């Protein structure tokens, strides 16, 4: 079973790129972030025509997350629990069949948090605390679990080509990285790092200053696997070729292959 995650940066603007990716790679489950579409405006039919079930948690113009699956999506939860006043569409979770078992899949788009020292950064940290609480609850169910998406966190210096350039950015602040470690230390495996240790592994390149040509990237798109899911991990990868296409997203897909 292949599960992928991709910050699409606008599903309508990148629809053909998404469909091409599905045709070429045929993942069983895809988590999308920054769909930038309300639920009714999401091009669900295009994905359904390719054999995918669709669940969305959309928002007009920005944010928005979705899960596509070749098997039915069950027990869908939209929105990160813990703050009823939070109107940002950044979280969706569902259960899908993994052979005879079920796996819980989360598609998430963590707040950017910039500029630091503002309410936006405080919101990021509060959101990460809520995520940790929800992750604990999901782990307690002992079902294989994957948290997948754009975490907007650079975990370590080796996850950036030029870490010093991010010293004053919310993505690389000690508080953000500490919250990331607290989440991982609940018992998750960082799938990309488990399969590809060392520097030079990136998932995002800015549109400006020739970042992709210079390979001036960062790794902020992650797939965290519970112990039950990590036991099934066979391989993981990053599909860089999508960043070289015409009108690309600034992020690329990340994927894991699990034994069914």
Say what the pLDDT of residue 93 is: 99
**CB count, 10 Å around CB of 20?**
13
Query: What average pLDDT does range 64-69 have in this prediction?
Result: 99
Segment 166-196, tens digit of pLDDT: 999 999 999 999 999 999 999 999 999 999 9
Per the CB < 8 A criterion, the answer to whether 1 and 255 are in contact is no
DSSP per position, 33-74: E---S-GGGS-HHHHHTTT-EEEEE--SSS--EEEEESS--E
Query: Which pLDDT score, from 0 to 100, does residue 37 have?
Result: 98
What is the pLDDT of the chain when averaged over all its residues?
98
The burial class, CB within 10 Å (0-12 / 13-18 / 19+), for 11 is buried
Q: What pLDDT band is residue 49 in, cutting at 50, 70 and 90?
A: very high
CATH number of the domain to which 131 belongs: 3.60.10.10
Residue 38 structure tokens: 């309300």
Domain carrying residue 182: 2-258
Tell me the per-residue pLDDT of 11-21, one tens digit each, with 9 for 90 and over. Answer: 999 999 999 99
Phi, psi of 148 (to 5 degrees): -130, 140
Residue 260 has pLDDT above 90, yes or no: no
Which pLDDT tens digit goes with each residue over 223-237? 999 999 999 999 999
Question: How many whole angstroms separate alpha carbon 4 and alpha carbon 68?
Answer: 10
pLDDT in tens, 188-217: 999 999 999 999 999 999 999 899 999 999
| C-beta atoms surrounding 86 within 10 Å | 17
* pLDDT, mean of residues 140-164: 98
Residue 258, SS3 per DSSP: strand
What backbone torsions phi and psi does residue 32 show, to the nearest 5 degrees?
-115, 145
Residues 244, 246, 247: CA angle, nearest 5 degrees: 105
Give the global pTM: 0.98
With a pLDDT cut of 90, the percent of the chain lying above it is 98
Strands (E) in 70-203, as ranges, are 74-78, 91-98, 101-109, 145-150, 189-190
Nearest to residue 155, comparing CAs of 90, 91, 94, 199?
199
Task: Classify the C-alpha dihedral 212-153-41-238 as positive or negative.
Answer: positive
Q: Please count the structural domains in the chain.
A: 1
The two tokens of residue 105 are: 């899949």
């Amino acid at each position: 079973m292949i599960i992928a995650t991709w910050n699409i940066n606008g599903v309508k603007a990148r629809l053909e790129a998404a469909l091409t990716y599905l045709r070429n790679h045929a993942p069983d489950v895809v988590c999308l972030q920054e769909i930038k579409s309300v639920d009714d405006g999401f091009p669900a039919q295009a994905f359904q025509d390719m054999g995918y079930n669709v669940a969305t948690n959309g928002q007009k113009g920005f944010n928005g997350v979705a899960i596509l699956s070749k098997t039915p999506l069950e027990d869908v939860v939209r929105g990160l629990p813990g703050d009823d006043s939070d109107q940002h569409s950044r979280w969706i979770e569902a259960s899908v069949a993994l052979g005879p078992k079920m796996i819980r899949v989360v598609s998430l788009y963590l707040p950017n948090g910039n500029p630091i020292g503002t309410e936006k950064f405080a919101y990021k940290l509060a959101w990460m605390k809520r995520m940790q609480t929800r992750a604990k609850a999901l782990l307690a169910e002992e079902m294989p679990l994957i948290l997948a998406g754009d975490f907007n966190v650079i975990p370590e210096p080796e996850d950036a080509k030029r870490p010093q350039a991010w010293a004053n950015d919310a993505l690389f602040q000690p508080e953000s990285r500490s919250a990331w470690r607290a989440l991982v230390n609940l018992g998750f495996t960082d799938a990309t790092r488990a399969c590809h240790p060392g520097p030079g592994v990136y998932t995002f390149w800015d549109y400006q200053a020739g970042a992709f040509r210079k390979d001036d990237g960062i790794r902020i798109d992650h797939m965290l696997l519970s112990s039950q899911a990590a036991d099934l991990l066979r391989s993981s990868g990053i599909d860089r070729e999508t960043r070289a296409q015409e009108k690309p997203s600034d992020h690329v897909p990340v994927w894991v292959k699990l034994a069914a």
